[in-house]
Amino acid sequence: MSFLGLRRGPKVAPGALDAPVLLHIGIPKSATTALQSSLAAARDDLARHGILYPDLDGRINHHQLATQLLGRKHAAWNPSGDSTAQLDQLRELAAAEGIERVVLSSELLAEVDHAEAKRVIQQLGKHVEVLVTLRSLPQLLPSSWQQGASAGHQVPFEQWLEEVLRDPERLDLRPLMSMRGDDGHTLISRWASLVGARRVTLLIPDPEDRSSVFHQAEQLLSLPESFLPTYSSNTSLTFSQSEFARLTGQAARRGLSSFERVQLIQQGLGNGMKKGAGDGGARTALPDWALDRAQAAARRLADAARSAKVTVVGDLADLELAGKTSDTRYEQPTSLPLTVVTDGLEGLFSRARQAPFVIDDALRPVDRPRRIAPDLELAVGTFTVAPLCAAGSAGLGEALLASRRRLQKAGVRTAVATRTGAARRTRLEVLPPMPETATPVEPGEQARTWVPVEPATVTVRRAYQAHLLRGGRDSWESFTGAFDARTLLAERDWEAVTSQLRALGARGQVSVVRADGTAALVTLAGDLEAATGLPADALVRAVRTSPEAALLSAPQLALLRAFNERTWREQRGVHYVRLATHGMVPSLLATGLSDDTPLQLVGELADAAAGFDARVAEALSAAGVDLPPASPASSASSPDNVADVPMTDAVAAARGMVGIARVAARRARENEA
């Protein structure tokens, strides 16, 4: 087996290579990466034998060259679609003294149609041989689906199989593009029609000997035995890991280019899981129902190779080996181990901090309140939120601040802890914790007040969430153990609180609400919208998307803490703020799956929290105000005990980072222009 150079192929383009070319086109998932790694590692030794395996861009393969030969646009490799930079570089290297042969490898070329294959051959020269590597089709199919899923662009596995095997004997196995037949050709006949059957070699590695592909390549290149170093094939994602990547690509697909998807989801999220220590579960295997159809396609492919009279290295019968099958029905997982999700997010974070996604700007959160139309028919009056909590504003002040500009454009005057008058206007104010004096109301002006009462356990939970949002990595147990219980028991003028409640009641209608979670705040925001005349979702979305207002669920808190541990830096820079605070966290909140299950407090802190809540109840009772009954008690939980993360949360976290990385790349391009 050697370069034949017997028959001329299509008319070649000016400047084509003079040296014979061995063009390895894969197909994907047939030991291609292992062979490419071996050839790249042996470049210097190959050159001494007159063989050029060119290093055109620091990669082990020639995907960039293939993209340019095909004239396809690519954000990094071929932005204009007409670059010849790689081919020009190849011509120069191939013209060097002593080069007798050129070897190129890109499995992208296995997926082209006849016209594209002809274009490639014309640019490479008169003497081109094509090397096709294949493996058992029943074993190839799960790997091929996984490969696409890992880049975030695939349908569910069994649905994909149904499409691929709908008519297996036609050998048009789309969406498996390496086995396409929409141009009237098979994988074999397409290239044989262009270069001649004698210049096409079909290499089928021995399934019992993983080193066979290297030995077969040595023979094909007339190299000494054991000349090429051996490498293992790519580590593949498990089924659950593949689903995580696939669903992330589905959720983030809007506005995401193919290049960005591959870089962020496959190279970032996917490689993070491959390198991580998390147990991703079982690998994808061919379902039992698909075996007969896959083997029928394999037999048809073997017949096509015989009919084409191409050179076959290996045993065609191996194309239909069953391998591992499964009677499992592959359904979307509902959860993933926390370690697996963190593995992926760590890889995604690392990739999104590199070019072309680098920008010295935190950007705006990916999920944020929408614009409010101007010229609304608003209610005239003062609408006050007077929180009754140990600290902060029960999240409402922060949500109002996040919406201030939008509200003002709509004609709503806003204030947070200010005392200026607002006669005959629509005014929405949030006071600091009582006792505080509300804005005076003019005669005849409407005044309504909402008093959100936040249990002390929720206040502590907010403090922990704020710690994690700053990049902290303390466990819930550690954080609450160090929390100063005296914060909850600090002296307050409870008589003044009672007086203020009475004064608010005398001023206008007062509604007391139990602010024990995100659902309660959303309801309150909806009431404020209705009272002021604001459109639905104007304030509700501000509450849902503000990490200072909405509460992360226990699994979400656990995920954020685990992510912070993996990406820990003494100084949290702009990249963390952009990708985590403005990317991952708002996307988690946007799921709307916040869990209001209370978090467990113990010891002195639990006693202090109960003491504060008791004083609040006494003040409300003394003011003649009823506190709505609490919801049926549910068992307290702890983020420290979370082992699995809902798939919805895993995908949301990744989607947020992918989305904001895409915006950063676009902004970086604009800055360069």
pLDDT in tens, 55-91: 999 999 999 999 999 999 988 899 899 999 999 999 9
Question: What percent of the chain has pLDDT above 70?
Answer: 90
- Cα–Cα distance between 35 and 24 in angstroms, integer? 10
Average pLDDT over residues 626-650: 87
Please check the confidence at residue 656 and state whether its pLDDT lies above 80.
Answer: yes
- Cα–Cα distance between 284 and 297 in angstroms, integer? 20
Residue type, 492: R
What pLDDT does 416 receive?
53
Question: What percent of the chain has pLDDT above 90?
Answer: 60
Residue 6 vs residue 594, higher pLDDT: 594
- The closest alpha carbon to 665, from 252, 192, 315, 61, belongs to 252
Please check the confidence at residue 421 and state whether its pLDDT lies above 50.
Answer: no
What pLDDT does 5 receive?
42
Domains of the chain, residue spans: 21-236+283-333, 381-480+492-672
CATH number belonging to the domain at 21-236+283-333, selected among 3.40.630.30, 3.40.50.2300, 3.40.50.150, 3.40.50.300? 3.40.50.300
Residue 399 vs residue 578, higher pLDDT: 578
Please check the confidence at residue 463 and state whether its pLDDT lies above 90.
Answer: yes
Q: Which region among 78-87, 88-97, 435-444, 590-599 has the lowest average model confidence (pLDDT)? A: 435-444
CB–CB of 638/560 below 8 Å? no
Average pLDDT over residues 474-491: 89
Mean pLDDT, rounded, of the chain: 88
DSSP string across 243-255: HHHHHHHHHT-TT
Distances (CA, A) of 382 to 377, 414, 444, 521, 522: 15, 10, 11, 19, 20
Sheet arrangement for strand 101-105: 51-52, 101-105, 21-24, 128-133, 200-203, 311-313
Encoded tokens for 380: 């005239």
pLDDT in tens, 334-373: 999 999 999 999 999 999 999 999 999 888 887 766 667 6
Q: How confident is the model at residue 633 (pLDDT cuts 50, 70, 90)?
A: low
What pLDDT does 424 receive?
36
pTM attached to this predicted model:
0.89
Non-local (6+) Cβ contacts of 267 within 8 A are 351
- The closest alpha carbon to 194, from 286, 271, 117, belongs to 117
Label residue 184 exposed, middle or buried (CB < 10 Å: 0-12, 13-18, 19+).
Answer: exposed
Q: How confident is the model at residue 594 (pLDDT cuts 50, 70, 90)?
A: low
Alpha helices in 533-632 (DSSP H): 540-545, 554-566, 574-576, 585-589, 603-622
DSSP string across 389-405: SSSTTTTHHHHHHHHHH
**Count of residues in the chain:** 673
Q: How confident is the model at residue 397 (pLDDT cuts 50, 70, 90)?
A: confident
Average pLDDT over residues 579-585: 94
Please check the confidence at residue 447 and state whether its pLDDT lies above 70.
Answer: yes
Encoded tokens for 36: 């490419």
Give 103's strand partners.
Answer: 22
CB–CB of 191/130 below 8 Å? yes
What pLDDT does 427 receive?
65
Label residue 336 exposed, middle or buried (CB < 10 Å: 0-12, 13-18, 19+).
Answer: buried
- Cα–Cα distance between 391 and 398 in angstroms, integer? 13
What pLDDT does 539 receive?
86
Non-local (6+) Cβ contacts of 516 within 8 A are 454, 455, 458, 596, 598, 630, 631
Alpha helices in 490-552 (DSSP H): 494-507, 518-532, 540-545
Please check the confidence at residue 419 and state whether its pLDDT lies above 50.
Answer: no
pLDDT in tens, 142-156: 999 999 999 998 899
CB–CB of 347/273 below 8 Å? yes
DSSP 151: T
Element counts in the chain: helices (H) and strands (E): 26, 15
Residue type, 598: P
Name the 3-class secondary structure at 452.
strand
What pLDDT does 6 receive?
41
Sheet arrangement for strand 413-416: 413-416, 426-430, 381-385, 446-453, 509-514
- The closest alpha carbon to 264, from 144, 360, 152, 145, belongs to 152
Please check the confidence at residue 543 and state whether its pLDDT lies above 70.
Answer: yes
Give 132's strand partners.
Answer: 202
pLDDT in tens, 186-222: 999 999 999 999 999 999 999 999 899 999 999 999 9
What pLDDT does 398 receive?
74
Q: How many CB atoms lie within 10 A of CB 88?
A: 11
Within 13 A of 668's CA, how many CA atoms are on the CB side?
A: 16
Average pLDDT over residues 474-493: 88
